[in-house]
Amino acid sequence: MRFNNILLSSALCAILFSSLNAFTGDQNQTNDNYNNMKKGWNLYFDTKNQPEKVEEELKKEPVSKQIELDILQKILDESRKQTKIQEKILSLLEEEIDPKPKEVVVNGKKCIANSSADCFVLPMISEAKRVPVMAEFLKDPYDLKKAAEYMRWQAGLFNNAINIGNALQFAYAQWGEKVYPVGAQTPSYSSLDGAYEAKILPEAEKELILSKKDTLSFSIFIGKNPNMDIFSAKSIMDVIAEYGQMDIELIYFDQKSKEIFEGAISSVYDIKKLKNWNLVKKQIDPKKFDAFNIHTSPSFVAKIKGKDKNEAQTILNGKVDTTSFRSRTIGFMEIKKLIDYSNFSESKAWQNNAAKQYVIDYYKGTQNTDIKGITK
């Protein structure tokens, strides 16, 4: 396009200059007052004030007519070329976005492709069109030679996919979480009895959550649904017992909801002796229910300390056990980018106390051997 603009500008200048020479000559012959008229092109060639310069310009030969025609022909050729390209682009776009019905011949009869079962033509998506051996086979699946060629190509595709998987596994084995920090689980670190998923990983996740006690805090909202509050009382106490070292607060909707919830707990336990109960802050604040958009209870809200309510998230509602609390908290930490998976991996998970106890129990159960002494 830049080349076209240059050619067009050159041609226009040449034509204008030729016209100027012709016009100026005629004016000098017929009008002696020409030099006194400062208008149009003459503003730049005032022969009265610059006689020598103007005379020199007027003596120049006009641009050859053939050169003008050559330039215009090049512009025309380029325009035709661009038109063909644009028509091709339009055709491709229409075929992909707004395909028009096509007339085809099926079993010797003309019909509109895919207008009926008798006029079936396999629709070819763009991905298949870019693989010629696939396109040829799909167009004519009855040709066994085309089928064989496609199978050979497909075998190469599958072999390549298998080797992609092999390469990824070997790279992870070589460098681990340094190259794949996503907390992946591989068979070599798991166990047939599910101990890794049931014991070792949960302990590692719990330790990770507790390590963020200076960053995370939790609010448990009580009072919007009294029946569910009572039903969930024990599970809430289990969460407090396990994670009471964290900054946890109970927020009641009103005095009545506080009495109902704590009364339910006191009917089963000696509330003063419950683990971590005294560490939990309690308050009655119905305004916070609106501030955090709490619509039911119990509701568990995870918060990042020092941040506004936009950095808080309701992670659970209803009856919650320690497993779901741990899982949702890990999810919140992931979405807020509080987990460094290069330091939290399956290999490191096997270094915690749960893994140590599992190994001791494994040798005791399978080999009747006590290895406590060598695991200190």
| pLDDT higher than 60, residue 50 | no
Percent of the chain clearing pLDDT 90 (strictly above): 45
- In terms of pTM, does the model score above 0.75? no
Q: Tokens at residue 268, please?
A: 């089963």
Among candidate residues 74, 79, 69, the one with its CA nearest the CA of residue 7: 74
**Statement: residue 57 has pLDDT above 70:** no
Whether the predicted pLDDT of 248 surpasses 80: yes
Domain residue spans in the chain?
2-91, 101-129, 131-180, 213-337
Query: Helix, strand, coil shares of the chain as percentages rounded to 5?
Result: 60, 10, 30
Give me the pLDDT at residue 309, please. 60
Amino acid code (one letter) for 1? M
User: Does residue 24 carry a pLDDT above 60?
Assistant: no
- Whole-number Cα distances in Å, 267 to 186, 230, 259: 46, 11, 12
Percent of the chain with pLDDT over 70: 79
**Structure token digits, residue 365:** 């159960």
| Of the ranges 117-126, 267-276, 291-300, 356-365, the best mean pLDDT one | 291-300
Tens digit of each residue's pLDDT (9 = 90 or more) over 313-345: 999 999 999 999 999 999 999 999 898 877 777
pLDDT, position 70: 83
257: Cβ contacts below 8 Å, ≥ 6 apart: 222, 223, 226, 229, 297
Residue 296 · residue 225 · CB < 8 Å? yes
Confidence tier at 216 by pLDDT (50, 70, 90): very high
Return the ∠ at Cα 30 (arms to 27 and 31), rounded to 5°: 70
pLDDT reported for residue 272: 82
Query: Which tens digits make up the pLDDT trace of 94-150?
Result: 877 888 888 889 889 999 988 999 998 888 888 888 899 999 999 899 999 999 999
Q: What is the mean pLDDT of residues 47-66?
A: 56
Report the range of poorest mean pLDDT among 31-35, 91-95, 250-254, 314-318.
31-35
Mean pLDDT of 168-197: 78
- Residue by residue, DSSP assigns 204-266 as HHHHHHHTTTTTEEEEEEESS-HHHHHHTHHHHHHHHHHHTTSEEEEEESSHHHHHHHHHHHH
CATH superfamily for domain 213-337: Glutaredoxin (3.40.30.10)
User: For the chain, what is the mean pLDDT?
Assistant: 82
